[in-house]
Amino acid sequence: MSGFEQLFPGRLPKLIMFDLDGTLVDSVPDLAAAVDKTLLQLGRPPAGIERVRDWIGNGVRVLVRRALANGMDHSAVDEESTEAALAIFMEAYSGSHALTKVYPGVRETLKWLQKMGVEMALITNKPERFVAPLLDDLKLGRFFRWIVGGDTLPQQKPDPAALFFVMKMAGVPGSQSLFVGDSRNDVLAAKAAGVACVALSYGYNHGRPIEEESPALVISDLRMLIPGSSAGCLEQGAEITLPDIKSPSFRESIVVVTRKLWMKVMKALARWRWRA
């Protein structure tokens, strides 16, 4: 039984919101390269890929602070040091993303969902300025109608504000929505928004098994969501059908939600404001 069949018997969700890093793409090599370049420029030893992998998930500011602290606890890092290191990191990471790769099964799944008429959105804690260029480089941007970056709204995951925003824009309730991520922040945001969460076991969760966060479902390949899939690989010749699914008559262009819009929407989101 596929993931959709378990979570939405006999139908598909109308809206699926995806995390980016650790869910759709493995961005650790490029992020680690930028972190190490930052540390070296500050006269510090590089951190390396495996340590950076554990530090990802709370946005670049926290990533940089963890790099400066050389660990998860960054409470002792002062703001002056943070700002100086952040400026170096942002410059280092703004170059090529040649080391970032799309995970197996991602493109096939997104193409299938698009064909089935499912609306899709991207919600990431990565700064907005990096998201669209990366999606363009990887040829993933065309799948998403809404894209919310880590600085698009005042809040980041695990706050559910971005999920509420996208659901409001799509006109789809939480009961017909799904969030797909890989970390504790993703699961907490989905739960706070009243949305089922599917978690990928291969992602970045600070070195902890994602099962500990009790998402609705844990999978090891995005294709496991699709009816007709088997062990993460679509069965050869399998016909994938679901009842009452209509393809849209046209596709609207991608709407990138910029921070210029947040003032207009935050009043509407205020009643949903959640705090950890």
Residues in CB range of 34: below 8 A, 6 or more apart: 89, 92, 93
What distances in angstroms separate CA 181 from CA 22, 33, 124, 260, 270, one per listed residue?
8, 23, 10, 26, 24
How many Å is the maximal CA-CA distance in the chain?
A: 60
CA–CA dist 121, 18 (Å, integer): 6
Q: Peptide bond preceding 158: is omega within 30 degrees of 0, i.e. cis? A: yes
Cα–Cα distances (Å) from 209 to 79, 83, 244, in that order, read 31, 32, 36
Burial class (CB in 10 A: 0-12, 13-18, 19+), 267: exposed
- Could you say which of 19, 26, 36, 159 is catalytic? 19
Cα dihedral 84/86/89/91 (nearest 10): -80
19 in a known ligand binding site: yes
Which residue stretches of the chain are H helix?
Answer: 3-7, 28-41, 49-55, 60-69, 79-93, 106-115, 128-138, 161-170, 184-193, 262-269
Q: Is residue 36 annotated as part of the catalytic site, yes or no?
A: no
Residue 36 is labelled as binding a ligand = no
How far lies 95's CA from each of 26, 57, 98, in Å?
Answer: 17, 21, 9
Q: Which residues are catalytic?
A: 19
Annotated binding site for Mg(2+): 19, 21, 182
Annotated binding site: 19, 21, 182
